[in-house]
Amino acid sequence: MATPCSSFSFERLGSCGEARRGRFHTAHGTVDTPIFMPVGTQATVKAMTPATLHALGAQIILANTYHLHMRPGEEIIEALGGLHTFMGWNTPILTDSGGYQAFSLAKLVRISDTGLMFASHIDGSPRLLTPEKAVDIQERLGSDIMMCLDECVAYPSPRKHVEAAVARTTLWAGRCLEARRSDKALFGIVQGGVFPDLRARSAAEISRLPFDGIAVGGLSVGEGHDRMLDVLDATMPCLTAERPRYLMGVGMPHDITEAVARGVDMFDCVLPTRNARNGMLFTWNGKVTLKQARYRRDERPPDEACTCYTCRNFSLAYLRHLYVTREILSAILNTIHNLHFYLELMRKVRHGIEEQNFEALRKHVKELYHD
Amino acid sequence: MATPCSSFSFERLGSCGEARRGRFHTAHGTVDTPIFMPVGTQATVKAMTPATLHALGAQIILANTYHLHMRPGEEIIEALGGLHTFMGWNTPILTDSGGYQAFSLAKLVRISDTGLMFASHIDGSPRLLTPEKAVDIQERLGSDIMMCLDECVAYPSPRKHVEAAVARTTLWAGRCLEARRSDKALFGIVQGGVFPDLRARSAAEISRLPFDGIAVGGLSVGEGHDRMLDVLDATMPCLTAERPRYLMGVGMPHDITEAVARGVDMFDCVLPTRNARNGMLFTWNGKVTLKQARYRRDERPPDEACTCYTCRNFSLAYLRHLYVTREILSAILNTIHNLHFYLELMRKVRHGIEEQNFEALRKHVKELYHD
């Protein structure tokens, strides 16, 4: 089976141990890896304008197909020129398949080889998401990188259940490839829960298919940092080196550096943006929880070494005040800081790989964030 | 009684009928009049960074003494270097006295010549706001323009009640002047409800005192556009020309242009920012209500002639989507647009006065916004 004609390509530029420095090209521009993708669930990274995201150095964002299918609907976005035009974002966008939200957010009615039957979380209306439909929605959105529909399993799940999900994920992967009409990238997804042999089997099956990249799904669902790394140890050696590897929905800073050390190239996670709205800041001195009374009169910025707009202009006392009074500016300034931290982390990761001193950064981040 | 030494001065640059073009100087810079002041209740103009406000051309903002006294408290703001430093805003700030919120937001316990006894709207704790205390709090905040404590009356109120409030407002005005320690500006406030003779009496009494500017308070409280203009007609001729005149809490675009036509120089209002959060946009074609289904597929900007970031980058369909999904970016983009509209309106007002064609603008705004 030959790789279909795709506008997507990936270059490996260097490595440091298993950690890889790379770059991929899409119809909307080039992205340096390892990369972190801010999450723009409903066609907006919460509290950020596109101008602010660009200024922060975001190269690619993720949007959620489930949410956009529900509101405003892919027909409207397509009619308005696609997701890039709709949300005013002219660099790459990756979309998920919608499956994860159908499992986690909607009321799941039934799953079969056909697809997922679920009830909308907004109006309860019945919906069917098939592999073909998931690709069709993403094509209409105009995504640069589409994800296959996969079957996610909860953690923990019995082996038999996970084994069936692996088989169905492979079945759906082939159907997603068949359904693709455009030259946009399509990534396969590896499942297998926390069973090393099932992960290896799924990785081998998905790797055999002509995807533009391979994602590892079904992690960061409650299994914990150490078990997640065990799964990566079982999975990564089964993936071919010439395609980008994407660890979905991960994670904390030390999750990211440990995964990079195992050869992962791409990440997305709601933590920097969600925690920002909950008053938690990531810094190079560890976490800062703004609700703490200790910051009431603290005139220092969250991180004295940080160059973000928030740290250059505002004190912990002011940020605490905004958080306590539930001001919108709290979400804005905290999100600017946390995304700056994550994007800076990835710049340091890339630089560390280039300079062959990634291990020092990895150790530092682990000390800061691994409880 | 001589005007105390003040860092504040006002220049009249020209006029067009009763409309005045002017400029005032404060310790934090110069402001062109007529001016609109965005409202930054809790030391933030909701959903705006200071950088965005500067880019929009905001020259001065208003902050609410009541809210800042409650949270975080003027002692903390003073210890952190004052309100400008605290909120990262380096151009002028006007503060109100806190009285209006003590009347409207808190549970008012008792009013006497001493001051206002009320219960905090946050924790119910008893508080006393006196004229001296109101000035002291504003001095600690480091406000460029402080407002006197006045007695607001509800609309409608019996004449006897309003007459007593006028007398108490004059009493308190003198005590506020005595209480001032700094060289910051202090404005007096005219009361008098909708009684022309009481307004004239209050205006005369307040004008006799050595304030840096005179405000008209107690309007836009339900009396309606036409009655408000009647009150202005009775009040403005009683105010001296050489000091700036500030109409507090007003208003709609046509309220502003009609008041400018009667000689008002300064305005503040929550309408552009609050309506933005409620999905209502001000445009040069009238109001736009984003929740309307007619905008679902509308790829036009809210106002095709508008040069704001929102109109240059986003469609009505996208803005409607953000509003319907309650995204924070909805508040941000709508606020950018509405503040741009108000600040642009004031630029047009100033230009119209300079060019002696203010009447054309006044007529246009009245047609657009006077129901």
**Chain A environment of B320 (Cβ under 8 Å):** 72
Contact A71 B317 (CB under 8 A): no
Examine the domain organization and report whether B240 and B340 are in the same domain: no
A53 touches chain B (CB under 8 A): no
Give one DSSP letter per residue of A254-267, joined into a string.
HHHHHHHTTT--EE
The CATH number assigned to the domain holding A110 equals 3.20.20.105
Which of B48, B277, B299, B318 best tests the A interface by mutation, with the highest count of A CBs <10 A?
B318
Bridge partners (DSSP) listed for residue A12: A22
Among A44, A315, A327, select the one facing B322 at the smallest CB separation: A44
Instruction: Report the pLDDT averaged over residues B111-118.
Output: 95
Q: Which residue of B has its CA nearest to A49?
A: B329
Instruction: Report the pLDDT averaged over residues B137-142.
Output: 98
Q: Which of residues B229, B244, B269 is at a domain's end? A: B269
CB pairs under 8 A between A and B: 106
Q: In this predicted structure, which of A1-5, A235-239, A358-362, B348-352 has the lowest mean pLDDT?
A: A1-5
Examine the domain organization and report whether A168 and A260 are in the same domain: yes
User: Does the active-site annotation cover B230?
Assistant: no
For residue A142, is it within any domain? yes
Instruction: Report the pLDDT averaged over residues A294-298.
Output: 98
B82 touches chain A (CB under 8 A): no
Tell me the backbone φ, ψ of residue B65, rounded to 5 degrees: -60, -40
Give the model confidence (pLDDT) of A299-355 as tens digits: 999 999 999 999 999 999 999 999 999 999 999 999 999 999 999 999 999 999 999
Examine the domain organization and report whether B282 and B325 are in the same domain: yes
Instruction: Report the pLDDT averaged over residues B287-299.
Output: 98
Among A49, A67, A296, select the one facing B72 at the smallest CB separation: A296
Give me the pLDDT at residue B188, please: 98
The domain in which residue A352 lies consists of 271-371
Q: Average model confidence (pLDDT) for chain B? A: 96
Among B47, B48, B309, select the one facing A51 at the smallest CB separation: B309
Does B212 have pLDDT greater than 90?
yes
Instruction: Report the pLDDT averaged over residues B191-207.
Output: 98
Return the active site residues of A: 96, 268
Examine the domain organization and report whether B185 and B256 are in the same domain: yes
pLDDT band at B1 (very low <50, low <70, confident <90, very high): very low
Examine the domain organization and report whether A257 and A350 are in the same domain: no
Give the model confidence (pLDDT) of B21-77 as tens digits: 999 999 999 999 999 999 999 999 999 999 999 999 999 999 999 999 999 999 999
Does A126 have pLDDT greater than 60?
yes
Peptide bond into B156 cis (omega under 30): yes
**Total tally of structural domains belonging to chain B:** 2
Examine the domain organization and report whether B283 and B249 are in the same domain: no
Contact A48 B329 (CB under 8 A): yes
pLDDT band at A1 (very low <50, low <70, confident <90, very high): very low
Contact B333 A297 (CB under 8 A): no
Examine the domain organization and report whether A98 and A128 are in the same domain: yes
| This prediction's pTM | 0.97
The token pair at A354 is 């280039």
- Decide if the complex's ipTM is over 0.90: yes
Torsion of CA A347, B51, B333, A46, to 10 degrees: 30
The owner of tokens 């008002």 is B264
Instruction: Report the pLDDT averaged over residues B143-154.
Output: 96
Examine the domain organization and report whether B230 and B350 are in the same domain: no
Instruction: Report the pLDDT averaged over residues A227-250.
Output: 97
Q: In this predicted structure, which of A157-171, B102-116, B356-370 has the lowest mean pLDDT?
A: B102-116
Give the model confidence (pLDDT) of A65-82 as tens digits: 999 999 999 999 999 999
Examine the domain organization and report whether A296 and A240 are in the same domain: no
A167 touches chain B (CB under 8 A): no
For residue A302, is it within any domain? yes
Give the model confidence (pLDDT) of B74-104 as tens digits: 999 999 999 999 999 999 999 999 999 988 8
Question: Pairing state of beta strands A280-283 and A286-289?
Answer: antiparallel
Q: Which of residues A216, A242, A269 is at a domain's end? A: A269
Q: Which of residues 85-104 of B touch A (CB under 8 A)?
A: 86-88
Q: Which of residues A224, A249, A269 is at a domain's end? A: A269
Q: Which residue of B has its CA nearest to A41?
A: B327
B56 touches chain A (CB under 8 A): no
Does B5 have pLDDT greater than 80?
no
For residue B4, is it within any domain? no
Instruction: Report the pLDDT averaged over residues B333-346.
Output: 98
pLDDT band at A103 (very low <50, low <70, confident <90, very high): confident
Element of type H or E holding B77: helix B74-79
Q: Average model confidence (pLDDT) for chain A? A: 96
Among A47, A72, A309, select the one facing B51 at the smallest CB separation: A309
Does B307 have pLDDT greater than 90?
yes
How far apart are alpha carbons A318 and A297 in whole angstroms? 9
Positive/negative CA dihedral, B234, B235, B236, B242: positive
A177 touches chain B (CB under 8 A): no
